[in-house]
């Protein structure tokens, strides 16, 4: 069903292989990237599944209604973008640690670099979060989906971001 919706939106869905394999940071990054990349198709599919005209059971429709609301939430999208930005950094370190070229001296340099990136991300938007914020500021949407921001979402997110990247 999702593929049909994606095709109608001219979106090519990302395929997620093994999420919990040895390269968990890399596969987690790919999973979060897939959610953001296929965001419009996921929203359209969940909306279709939640439709009162559909043939799904009411309990199943309720789940899809909840997913639709979650995808429209400014907090959800901003936190997902923040997570993608963090995982991009961790993924690079993880892949380096798995390489044969990794040495204890170089590892410390890579760890220090990531610490500096995380401290910077406490204050400034990363690549994914910046794209989302620009899209939201333009027309209060993301990938064609109307995003709803509640009062206090921005302040709450700033606090969460600082705590997340500090940890």
Which pLDDT belongs to residue 2?
66
Measured distance CA(69)–CA(30) in Å, rounded = 23
Which pLDDT belongs to residue 33?
92
- pLDDT (tens digit, 9 = 90+) per residue, 132-166? 999 999 999 999 999 999 999 999 999 999 999 99
Mean pLDDT of the chain: 88
Which pLDDT belongs to residue 8?
67
Q: 52: which 2 tokens? A: 């009162």
**pTM: predicted TM-score of the whole model, two decimal places:** 0.84
Which pLDDT belongs to residue 16?
55
SS3 string, the chain, reads CHHHHHHHCCCCCCCCCCCCCCCHHHHHHHHHHHHHHCHHHHHHHHHHHHCCCCCCCHHHHHHHHHHHHHHCEHHHHHHHHHHHHHHHHHHHHHHHHCCCCCCHHHHHHHHHHHHHHHHHHHHCCCHHHHHHHHHHHHHCEECCEECECCCCHHHHHHHHHHHHHHC
Instruction: Tell me the sheet residues that pair with 141.
Output: 146
* Maximum Cα–Cα distance across the chain: 62
* pLDDT block averages, 10 residues each, the chain of length 167: 68 57 69 91 92 86 94 97 94 85 87 94 96 97 96 96 93
């Amino acid at each position: 069903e999702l593929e049909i919706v994606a095709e109608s939106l001219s979106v090519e869905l990302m395929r997620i292989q093994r999420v919990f394999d040895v390269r968990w940071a890399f596969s987690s990054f790919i999973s979060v990237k897939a959610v953001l990349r296929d965001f419009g198709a996921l929203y359209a599919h969940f909306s279709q599944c939640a439709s009162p005209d559909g043939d799904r059971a009411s309990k199943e429709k309720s789940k899809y209604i909840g997913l639709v609301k979650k995808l429209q939430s400014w907090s959800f999208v901003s936190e997902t973008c923040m997570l993608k930005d963090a995982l991009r950094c961790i993924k690079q370190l993880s892949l380096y640690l798995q390489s044969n070229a990794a040495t204890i001296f170089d590892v410390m340099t890579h760890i220090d670099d990531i610490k500096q990136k995380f401290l910077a991300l406490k204050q400034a938007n990363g690549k994914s979060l910046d794209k989302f914020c620009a899209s939201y500021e333009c027309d209060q949407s993301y990938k064609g989906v109307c995003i709803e921001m509640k009062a206090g979402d921005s302040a709450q997110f700033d606090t969460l971001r600082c705590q997340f990247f500090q940890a």
